[in-house]
Amino acid sequence: MAGPVRRTLEELATDFHVTRERVRQLEGPADADIRHHLEHAEDWLPVRWAVQTLIRQAGSIAPLALLEGCVPKADRRVRNLIRWLAGYKQSAGMLIRDGFTLPSVKDLPRVDGNERVIDEYELIELLEGAGVLAEHVPLAIDQIAGLYRVDEQLVDWTGSLVDKTIAVLELRDEPQELDDLFDVVGKGSVRSFRQRVFEDKRLSRVTKTKLGLSSWGGTRYTTVVDLMVSRLQGGPRLISDLAQELEETYEVSTASVSMYCYAPIFKVSGYIVALRRADDPFVPRDKAEQVQGLCLLGESLIWHVPVDGDILRGSGRAIPHEIGTFLGLAPGNPGLLLRNPIAHIPVTWSEKTHVGPSIGSLQAQANALGAQVGDVLRLSFGERLGVDMSLVAPPRHAETPAERLSRLTGLPEADCADGDRVAEAIGVPKDQVFETLIKRGDELWAEAFQELIEG
């Protein structure tokens, strides 16, 4: 139902061809006259009953439909008169008594010890004390901005996603799965949500997949490696015992513990893992001949990487130990920036990762080259910490084996004229080149090399 059309004094003065002051003068006596009739005139008795019925049934706030029930056969003007005489305004489908204001969410009573869980019993008492009838309390609660029900309990739902996460944790009073929390409070990406809750000091990651409140204290999950380090500071442990303990306490998978044992910060001896001593340095793998897509060209190193969705999304990736060593990196040492005309690229080698050194995003270079998924990106690491990039060209018509081998490997065609220089670039004797290339996954190189030798 539409509300009454409110007229300004200026509009009424214009309609009745009088001044604003004259309208004001007429308003007072008219109001007094109406009030007098309401109190004393017998023919106004039905109006008086309707007004009293509305006040009795509406309290401080009620649905607008209640007005229609009080005077079911009256037209809109009569209903608006009854509402006005009863002292109510109409707003958003509700009747609100003049002078009544709903409390704001920040002023609502909280359950003891919680910042965001609302004490609903006290809230009901607060509303009823302000004249809200019991049957209209749910309506009043629904109109308080910033309230939300989680598990049938009212919580303060204002603020950020982190604030709402805190509300759920306070309510449930025990660590919750990250995915379950995101289902309740999440908007946007799960990745963004995880990053925000992990960064907030009010929250604590208590297992790999569960979150709690920092105020609860207790165990705190950081990373698998940090948990392993803290346990191994007391001395070497059986890998199986360490894995079982971390699984029971932090829900870390035993497979993860077994993998991380081979991070440079640890030393594995049989079934025992310990923290690596300063006098027992980590020795990187040095088997360049086994690395797929890798070959030597004088003082340069060439590595081939299939273009995939991760590259085009801007993700970094692990690189072989041999490339890290070639660049002068060692686990735990400061990283470096590889010079590139499109954008410099960071390379690091953490002593806490078992996957070796890593290189930053290659997205800018791949985009500049027009790379698509399925292409092969060639990285040429040269002197003075630089890296050049290109795409492996598609096959040409009537290629010779030497031309095909040069196109695939990035070696000069002259170096691909005989098998000796190719063997030198791969790092194995000539009679082992074919088998080595097959084993490491460079089948196209192997086929071209075989044709070269047989030709």
Average pLDDT over residues 399-406: 94
CA dist., res. 178 & res. 194, Å (int): 8
Residue type, 93: G
Query: With bands split at pLDDT 50, 70 and 90, how would you rate the model's confidence at 217?
Result: confident
Examine the pLDDT at 383 and tell me if it is beyond 80.
Answer: no
Q: Is residue 304 a contact partner of residue 378, using CB atoms and an 8 Å limit?
A: yes
pLDDT in tens, 72-127: 777 777 788 888 888 888 888 899 999 999 999 999 999 988 899 999 999 999 99
Examine the pLDDT at 4 and tell me if it is beyond 50.
Answer: no
Helices (H), 350-418: 363-368, 401-409
Which tokens in the block code for residue 262?
């081979």
pLDDT in tens, 40-71: 556 566 677 778 888 889 999 999 988 887 77
Examine the pLDDT at 13 and tell me if it is beyond 70.
Answer: no
Examine the pLDDT at 202 and tell me if it is beyond 60.
Answer: yes
CA dist., res. 165 & res. 160, Å (int): 9
| Chain CA centroid to CA 141, Å | 31
CA nearest to 83, candidates 58, 100, 115: 58
Query: With bands split at pLDDT 50, 70 and 90, how would you rate the model's confidence at 432?
Result: very high
Residue 141 dihedral angles phi and psi, to the nearest 5°: -65, -40
CA dist., res. 343 & res. 353, Å (int): 26
The H-or-E segment that residue 237 falls in is strand 237-238
Which tokens in the block code for residue 19?
């001044």
**What mean pLDDT is reported for the chain?**
88
